[in-house]
Structure 1
Amino acid sequence: MSTLSDLDFFITLCRSGSISNTARELDISPAAVSKRLSNLEKRTKIQLFNRSTRSMNLTTEGQIYRDYAEQALSYIREMEERLSQRGGEVRGLLKINAPLGFGRKYMTTVISEFLQNYPKVEAKLHLSDHPVNLAEQSYDIGIRFGELPDSSLHAKKIATHRRVVCASPQYVERYGEPRAPDELMAHNCITLQQNNDSWSVWKFYKNEKSYSVRVSGRLSANDGESVTRWALEGQGITIRAEWDVGGYLLDGSLIPLLTDYELPNADIHVVYQHYNTLPSRIRAFVEYLNDFMGRRF
């Protein structure tokens, strides 16, 4: 008979995709992972994986075992959550994924404050400009901007994410100010390459009409902080989030351009999986984050 420890180990192995990845995650040797898998297969009398020197794939029986293991662990977590809520206690590990720049600027602070208020909660923050699959990688919460393609997640808007076209006063003085989107084609535009977005096409809206402009320039990066730095140095025109460059706009280091036009919606959402009973640590953090962002936007 499989134990809960066996089920948890097996799901970790499925999610990690290899013995070496599982070994790193569990902080044990690959040999120990192989031995534990072999023991599990002997005990269940089921071949769970087809293994070769280069790959390992679930057998048909392994897929069935995985499905039931996920259900069993889900029921156990829900039972524990309901019992803990009866005691009114917020505790446990909170795993959070957020975009790099936003995470540095806001999430580190809000998590620190949250843990001061909830001393029995632990937090693990993963920053990446490539959103992870929350379910597959066992994250409790994610921060997402703009449209949300994954309808399987519950989403709560926590802030309006306004973006601005901007440049330094020195750049505008030297090259002039564009008055319409198509005039950007004559300017040096600094582009941000993130995710799968068409980073060289900038979209605008005015009076229910849309405008798309393919921009170009000598500088591009996959890091927003680098793009902002180049704009401050007068290297060109860029699009940045108001939460990121608000201070520079206030002190005049950057000036907003094309203010008669709107940019596509990119509101900030906190997302999490659907639960029959929302874990108290997730519910408490979402409420705290919403209040935190409300005080800043």
Structure 2
Amino acid sequence: MLNSSDIQFLLVIRESASLLATAHKLGLTPSAVTQRLQQLEKKLGIQLMDRSARQLQFTDEGDLLCRRGIGIIDQFNVLLEELHARRHGMVGKLTINAPFGFGRRYVASVVAAFRQRYPDVEIRMTLSDQPLVASSDRFDLVIHIGELRSSNLISHYIAPNRRIVCASPGFAERHGLPEHPRDLAMLPTIALHENNEDVTLWQFRQRRTTVNIRTQPVLISNDGEVIRQWAAEGLGIIMRSEWDVADALAEGKLVPLLPDWKPPDANVVALTRQSAGLPERTRTFMRMMQEQFRPHAPWRLRLRDLASRQ
């Protein structure tokens, strides 16, 4: 009969992407891992791995067992946590993936506050320029900024966030202010590469009109702080989240462009694998994230102060 340890064993194989890596992670020999896999297949009477593939690949049945098994393990862990919580309070592990800049500036402080309040919860936070590309099964919570295209993850709203097109005052003086988004195609731009998105295609809306512009970046980086600095030094135009450029705009290092044209919003959200049955530690952490930006996100206050001075 299949048990939870069998499912966890298969999930470790899928996450490790090789039997050798699985052996290292479990502290076993490669032959022991292979033997256990064969015993599991014999017990179920089905083949779970495709031996003919060049790379590690599950059969349809093996993939189904992994996908359904995640939910079973999650439900089992939630049950155990509820039992522990009745006696010990908040316990368990919380794994978080967040973008570099936003993670450093806003998520890390919530992690610190959460840890002080709930010292029995073990937290692992990973910062990445591609949080959606990494295997979502490895994380309880993924902090994402921007549009969520095709995904089986559940979105939980955290804070409002707009995108702003901007450049340095010196750049605007040298090149002039663009009057229409199509003018950007003839100007040097700087792009942020993240989540394998099409970073050269910029979209704008004005009332019911939508315009897509193919830019020609002269600089590209996977670090938002770097491209903001390049823009402040007058090297090109950037499209960035207001949380990232609000201070630079308020200090006059950057100026907004095309105020009558709006790029799509890029709200801050938390992504989970499921909507119901989340562990209490995950729900509590999301609430603390949301509370940090109420009643107003700090970047909105900075931009509001800037507007009042103009």
Q: TM-score range by the shorter chain?
A: 0.7 to 0.9
Q: 1:211 to 1:75 in 2, by over 3 A?
A: closer
Structure 1 unpaired stretches of 5+: none
Please say which of residues 163-172 and 122-131 is displaced more in the overlay.
122-131
**Is the contact made by 1:97 and 1:131 (CA closer than 8 Å) also made in structure 2?**
yes
Does residue 1:130 correspond to 2:121, yes or no?
no
Residue 203 of structure 1 aligns to a residue whose secondary structure is strand
Give the alignment of 1:1-297 within 5 angstroms: 4-26=4-26, 28-38=28-38, 40=40, 48-51=48-51, 54-58=54-58, 62=62, 66=66, 69-70=69-70, 72-87=72-87, 89-132=89-132, 137-150=137-150, 152-274=152-274, 276-294=276-294, 296-297=298-299
CA distance in 2, matches of 1:90, 1:164: 40
**Is the contact made by 2:185 and 2:214 (CA closer than 8 Å) also made in structure 1?**
yes
**Is the contact made by 1:134 and 1:140 (CA closer than 8 Å) also made in structure 2?**
no
CA distance in 2, matches of 1:128, 1:141: 13
CA distance in 1, matches of 2:150, 2:88: 32
CA distance in 2, matches of 1:81, 1:64: 26
**Is the contact made by 1:160 and 1:267 (CA closer than 8 Å) also made in structure 2?**
yes
The Cα offsets for residues 41-67 of structure 1, whole Å up to 9 and x where unpaired, read as: 567676543436944444576567656
- Kindly provide the amino acid, as one letter, of the partner of residue 153 in structure 1: L
Q: 1:208 to 1:88 in 2, by over 3 A?
A: farther
Q: TM-score, normalised by structure 1?
A: 0.85
Root-mean-square deviation over aligned CA pairs: 3.0
Q: 1:144 to 1:217 in 2, by over 3 A?
A: closer
CA distance in 2, matches of 1:265, 1:38: 50
Please say which of residues 4-13 and 28-37 is displaced more in the overlay.
28-37
The Cα offsets for residues 110-149 of structure 1, whole Å up to 9 and x where unpaired, read as: 1111111111111111222323478862321111223323
Q: 1:230 to 1:57 in 2, by over 3 A?
A: closer
Please say which of residues 224-233 and 111-120 is displaced more in the overlay.
224-233
CA distance in 2, matches of 1:182, 1:63: 46
**Is the contact made by 2:81 and 2:91 (CA closer than 8 Å) also made in structure 1?**
no
Q: Percent identity?
A: 37
**Is the contact made by 1:154 and 1:274 (CA closer than 8 Å) also made in structure 2?**
yes
Equivalences, count: 297
**Is the contact made by 2:81 and 2:92 (CA closer than 8 Å) also made in structure 1?**
no
